[in-house]
Amino acid sequence: MNTTSAIRPRTASIVLAALAALWAPASWAAVTKTELAGRSLTQYPFFEYVKAFNQNTGVQVAIDPTRFPAIVGQTCDIYVVAAKTTTQWNTNPALTDITLGGAMTVTFSAPTIQVNTYAVTVPSELSGNAGTDLGVGYDVVLDCNQDGVLNGNDYIDGRNNESGFYVVHDTTAPGPLPVTRVTYTLSPPVGSTYGIPGGFLAEDLFYPTGIATMGTLPLIVISHGNGHSYNWYAHIGYHLASYGYIVMSHANNTGPGPFNASTTTLGHTDAFIDQAAAGVIAGGALVGHVDAGRIVWIGHSRGGEGVAISYDRLFDATYVPVNYVKANVKLISSMLPTDFNGPGIADPHDANYHLWTASGDEDVNGSAACNLCQTYHLHDRAIGHRQSTTIQGTGHTWFHDNGGYPWAVGPCSIGPTDALTHQIQLGHLLPLVKRYVDDNIPSIDFLTRQYESFRPIGVPTGNACIVVSHEYLDASVGAQKTVVIDDYQTQFATNVSSSGAAVTFNVTNLTEGLLDDNNSDFVWTPTDPFNGATQAGPGDTSRGVVFDWNGANRFYEWAVPIAEQDFTDNLLLSFRGAQGTRHPYTLAVLGDLTFDVTLRDAASVTSSINIGAFGGGLEQPYQRDGGWHNEMETIRIRLTDFLNNGSGIDLSNIVAIRLDVGPAHGSPEGRIVIDDLMLTNDRAVYDGGTNGDPHITTVDGTYYDFQGAGEFTLLQDGAMEVQVRQTAISGTSPVANAHTGLSSCVSVNTAVAARVGGHTVSYQPDLSGLPNPSGLQLRIDGVLTDINALQSVNLGSGGRVAKSPLGAGIDIDFPNGTSLSAIPQWWSGQNKWYLNLSVFKTPATEGIMGALSPGGWLPALPDGSSMGPRPAPTVQRHIDLNRTFADAWRITNATSLFDYAAGTSTASFTDKKWPPEPGEPCIAPDSPRVTPIRWEVAAHECRDLLDGGLRHSCTFDVAATGELSFVKAYQLSEKIDREATQTEVRIAQNPGSVTLVALVRMKKSGEPVTGGTAAGLAVGQVRFTVDGKDIEVPVGLDADGQATWKVELRAGAHTVSARFAPNSDARPLLPSGSAETAFVVR
């Protein structure tokens, strides 16, 4: 809390610092948040930071003294503590070590990460007993002032909704819940209603026996393959139900083909939701317990193609279910799918998609001569998050539990029973489902790490025939998300990447092309350069590159486009690769294939990591008769690993990524396919908003009204926090909110405050409390600041406050990439300012704008717990939302970021009884009664808003209050959503000159600003400012949304910024300016 007159003597002063001034750093030291937990490696980078540890392994902690030189010489206590949420850390920073030996005291030293690596637990020391969850979270703290409290110059791995690490249990083992199994058929009329053929009405249902005391549970639907049966998936049913899911395996009409199978999947999903709600199924046990908003489809073989077709039919709207929509399908997993139908039909589109492939499958056999038997087609068509798991030595029928002819061929079989296949299947299926249904964090390790180094505990470790490869592609796009360097889908020349930069190489026999074996066998021949590739079938477009080397050191190098040379926005470097099938160089060195990945910065500093460092390389293809399809595997390397042990590389200025192959770098010879080189993150970023009578759109897209009066945490993530003040208004909502089902008295946002790095920012009414229509007041660290004069204030580490491009209002950029726009409007009838707030690209998920807890109807509470499913009684809903939930997220005097006049505090703005119970009068203090108007009239006033959600909110607010200024507020919010841009600057140093590049992107979508009119009118121009002086010539944007200017600068320190001015005749856009960037010319 900042009580201005008491501790901020400069309250009345207005600081007019230089334009774009760097705000003085906060005087207090900051806790450093970084990765600490992981495992040591025998070669560079010598340590792998990970999220998940199997319960039967120990945990190590390491810090690189060259990345954190301040740690050298410090004696710190290493604490492993039970994980806390942001709020819990803020309110209780005390450290309590939970390891057997207690906190470990160590002295950190130079010069390597190896000498600063410590084992902090032994195997099985920490509990992984997470109940139905996957893992137990722990945070790691380096308490470097040794005071037993997180503060000062301490280091922490954790401190937000993502724990430092998780100890996971055996995912092949059953969960803790007893399971009830019921088999039945739907009635013929129900089948007829939902289009299910008469012979395929049977369902095999698994659910937690104690479901009556549980909330809503996600629905897993299993669609079997041809010749299989609905009751052959009990192993999956029991397993997932024991972890709290409802699993329904249905009779599937596969005989006619996968399209009819899809009809059965669609119909059974729809009918099941209906019949469960109606109490028809399982004696009514499922009433109120099926979460139709979280559906997973698992299909086998023709059924595996069928589930993809099902999604395609939802995507194309050629099938419209009654009881669910496309967005409810959170994951599709196809086991050994056929591909009869090809692109445009057997197409997962934007679904989260997972593929299982059995390399020994004799039915859907993956052979070159059988396109419909090539499983990888469906995976490569998916454009959402996609992943695949390839298992060698297993066959087609070992994925169900009925035995019979195995349809398995090849050496090193992991049969003849299905036990091993089931262990691998169940051990990965649980994290897979949790990843997409519950947004589970440690699950991603099961899907992305080399199988050799991390796998389900229950799968035997001594069986050399168990070979598993993972592919994983994060499909997030836009700013601070995935950046594709080369996916080979455009720019087909071998010397240019799909991102338009140069590609150089001296590897041999290089070809770019379709990932499709071009003949009917897998025998190597030079005329079939992609021999063994089955990722693309007829009509598919998936492409890659293939090359080889033999005995000599060679390279393949991508130049990095200037716009993407700052790698600090991303977490991982990712690509996929496979050994070339039956090529002589593959045959010559049987086993995993390895090579180095090298980054080079603008100063020609390089850092290399061998892909084998993390436990394996590209797997040897499965040597079955007639087989050997390429088995792609994704390699992901944490970008900061390239910094270890003082590599000196500058991750903010990487000019090239190189694959170094040959005897000095790993396998002496080999032939490999490479694809999908990208920079990526694991954590998603989100948008959200709170407008008018607070209509909140949470970061996971739920739209709900929250009318509490007081000051609340809107959103937080570790050190970043946004707080909002809501003020009661004497008016009532004209209609009930669809999500809460409540219609209550209303309030509005009247102030916002934020923690930006080490600074506090508040934007609130005149502290005097007197109405002041001249504007809201901005304070930074308690100092009144004239943003109109300054335009932009740099707060360091990417933090910034800037004047809104709309003229009134402010934009705040946070170090974690979050961007917030605050748009004020004056309400003369109430003598109040109110605010619409839009949040873009935030990783934060906690607060009243935070993500809904799994199975809960409201965002999670500060301690991470759930409010549970929505209560049926109106009064209970009111209490849950406006009392329990509201009070949980109220800030305190200790946590407040607002500035207060003397004698006031957060309590001065709090009314815990607002909104009153439904039906009571809406009389708020200091708020004249409003005069509602008819909905139809309000709707007419708001008719020009294009976005349906904003139009509804506008209509609501105008109808509730009769206040027409809301229309203007919503128009401005929509303008921000649709027209706001952001400008960043990149600097590339060339011999004798410096190239300045301004990247102009749409603020919300992250898409480059491109286009113009047919007459060739540029969409806008950029003007650079170097060392405080404008460069006279404005620069137009190119087709990639970039403006480039080459300038000669003397050696030494310089600054640059850029401002984008749109051409309003070309396209409606808002201007934007970059923060000032300092750089040194060498």
Question: Exactly one of 85, 226, 743, 895 binds another protein (CB under 8 A); which one?
Answer: 226
481 secondary structure, DSSP code: S
Question: Least CB distance from residue 631 to another protein, whole Å?
Answer: 20
Query: What's at 647, amino acid-wise?
Result: S
- 373/429 with CB nearer another protein: 373
Question: Exactly one of 118, 184, 238, 505 binds another protein (CB under 8 A); which one?
Answer: 184
Question: Exactly one of 1, 59, 71, 202 binds another protein (CB under 8 A); which one?
Answer: 202
CA-nearest of 854, 412, 890 to 625 is 412
Q: Is 192 in the site for another protein (CB under 8 A)?
A: yes
SS3 content of the chain, % helix, strand, coil (to 5): 20, 35, 50
Question: Exactly one of 50, 61, 140, 201 binds another protein (CB under 8 A); which one?
Answer: 201
Residue numbers 256-295 binding another protein by CB under 8 A: 256-260, 263, 275, 278-282, 284
Tell me the window of 27-35, 199-207, 436-444, 493-501 that interacts with another protein (CB under 8 A): 199-207
Evaluate the CA torsion angle 290, 296, 298, 299 in order and state its sign.
positive
Q: Is 251 in the site for another protein (CB under 8 A)?
A: yes
Question: Least CB distance from residue 363 to another protein, whole Å?
Answer: 5
880 secondary structure, DSSP code: I
Question: Exactly one of 42, 198, 495, 948 binds another protein (CB under 8 A); which one?
Answer: 198
Q: Report the alpha-carbon angle 165-169-175, nearest 5.
A: 130
Question: Least CB distance from residue 197 to another protein, whole Å?
Answer: 7
Question: Least CB distance from residue 196 to another protein, whole Å?
Answer: 9
CA atoms within 13 A on the CB side of 35: 19
Q: Pairing relation of β-strands 246-250 and 217-223?
A: parallel
Question: Least CB distance from residue 346 to another protein, whole Å?
Answer: 12
Question: Exactly one of 344, 404, 411, 773 binds another protein (CB under 8 A); which one?
Answer: 404
Question: Exactly one of 266, 364, 447, 985 binds another protein (CB under 8 A); which one?
Answer: 364
Angle of the 419-437 helix axis to the 234-241 helix axis, nearest 10 = 40
Question: Least CB distance from residue 200 to another protein, whole Å?
Answer: 9
| Dihedral angle over CA of 10, 16, 17, 20, nearest 10 | 120
Tell me the window of 198-206, 467-475, 825-833, 989-997 that interacts with another protein (CB under 8 A): 198-206
Q: Are 334 and 387 in contact (CB under 8 A)?
A: no
CA-nearest of 696, 862, 817, 640 to 161 is 862
Q: Are 224 and 248 in contact (CB under 8 A)?
A: no
Q: Are 834 and 750 in contact (CB under 8 A)?
A: yes
Q: Are 1001 and 1008 in contact (CB under 8 A)?
A: yes
Q: Is 301 in the site for another protein (CB under 8 A)?
A: yes
- 260/995 with CB nearer another protein: 260
Q: Is 302 in the site for another protein (CB under 8 A)?
A: yes
Question: Exactly one of 336, 812, 999, 1000 binds another protein (CB under 8 A); which one?
Answer: 336
Question: Exactly one of 32, 172, 216, 365 binds another protein (CB under 8 A); which one?
Answer: 365
Query: What's at 722, amino acid-wise?
Result: V
Question: Exactly one of 69, 73, 101, 188 binds another protein (CB under 8 A); which one?
Answer: 188
885 secondary structure, DSSP code: I
Question: Exactly one of 105, 183, 519, 908 binds another protein (CB under 8 A); which one?
Answer: 183
What residues contact residue 640 under an 8 Å CB cut-off, 6+ apart? 35, 67, 651
| Residues constituting the chain | 1082
CA-nearest of 863, 988, 50 to 444 is 50
Distance from C-alpha of 326 to C-alpha of 646, rounded to nearest angstrom: 49
Question: Exactly one of 58, 197, 775, 1012 binds another protein (CB under 8 A); which one?
Answer: 197
Distance from C-alpha of 345 to C-alpha of 353, rounded to nearest angstrom: 15
Question: Least CB distance from residue 723 to another protein, whole Å?
Answer: 50
Question: Least CB distance from residue 531 to another protein, whole Å?
Answer: 21
Number of residues that bind another protein (CB under 8 A): 55
- 191/862 with CB nearer another protein: 191
Question: Least CB distance from residue 205 to another protein, whole Å?
Answer: 9
Distance from C-alpha of 476 to C-alpha of 782, rounded to nearest angstrom: 38
Q: Is 568 in the site for another protein (CB under 8 A)?
A: no
Q: Is 373 in the site for another protein (CB under 8 A)?
A: yes
Question: Exactly one of 13, 92, 109, 187 binds another protein (CB under 8 A); which one?
Answer: 187
Question: Exactly one of 49, 311, 407, 558 binds another protein (CB under 8 A); which one?
Answer: 407
H or E segment at 501?
A: none
541 secondary structure, DSSP code: -
Tell me the window of 183-191, 503-511, 760-768, 942-950 that interacts with another protein (CB under 8 A): 183-191
Q: Is 370 in the site for another protein (CB under 8 A)?
A: yes
Tell me the window of 125-133, 158-166, 360-368, 614-622 that interacts with another protein (CB under 8 A): 360-368
Q: Report the alpha-carbon angle 512-513-515, nearest 5.
A: 120
Q: Is 191 in the site for another protein (CB under 8 A)?
A: yes
Q: Is 756 in the site for another protein (CB under 8 A)?
A: no
| Cα–Cα distance list, 519 to 200, 530, 532 (Å) | 39, 10, 10
Question: Least CB distance from residue 71 to another protein, whole Å?
Answer: 58
Tell me the window of 47-55, 336-344, 577-585, 741-749 that interacts with another protein (CB under 8 A): 336-344
- 395/442 with CB nearer another protein: 395
Q: What is the DSSP string of 979-1038?
A: H-EEEEEEEEEETTEEEEEEEEEETTT--B---B-TT--BSEEEEEEETTEE-SS-EE--
- Give the phi and the psi of residue 1076 in degrees, each rounded to 5: -75, 130
Distance from C-alpha of 1060 to C-alpha of 1070, rounded to nearest angstrom: 9
Q: Report the alpha-carbon angle 828-832-834, nearest 5.
A: 110
Question: Least CB distance from residue 281 to another protein, whole Å?
Answer: 5
Alpha-carbon 34 to chain mean position: 18
Question: Exactly one of 158, 164, 175, 225 binds another protein (CB under 8 A); which one?
Answer: 225
Question: Exactly one of 68, 118, 340, 935 binds another protein (CB under 8 A); which one?
Answer: 340
Question: Least CB distance from residue 990 to another protein, whole Å?
Answer: 57
* Paired residues of 684 in beta bridges: none
- 396/638 with CB nearer another protein: 396
H or E segment at 270?
A: helix 258-277
Question: Least CB distance from residue 87 to another protein, whole Å?
Answer: 45
Tell me the window of 65-73, 106-114, 201-209, 435-443 that interacts with another protein (CB under 8 A): 201-209
Distance from C-alpha of 209 to C-alpha of 221, rounded to nearest angstrom: 18
**Residue 319 in tokens:** 């099938």
Tell me the window of 44-52, 396-404, 443-451, 967-975 that interacts with another protein (CB under 8 A): 396-404
Task: Give the interface with another protein as residue ranges (CB under 8 A).
Answer: 183-188, 191-192, 197-199, 201-203, 225-231, 251, 253-260, 263, 275, 278-282, 284, 301-302, 336, 338, 340, 363-365, 370, 372-373, 396, 403-407
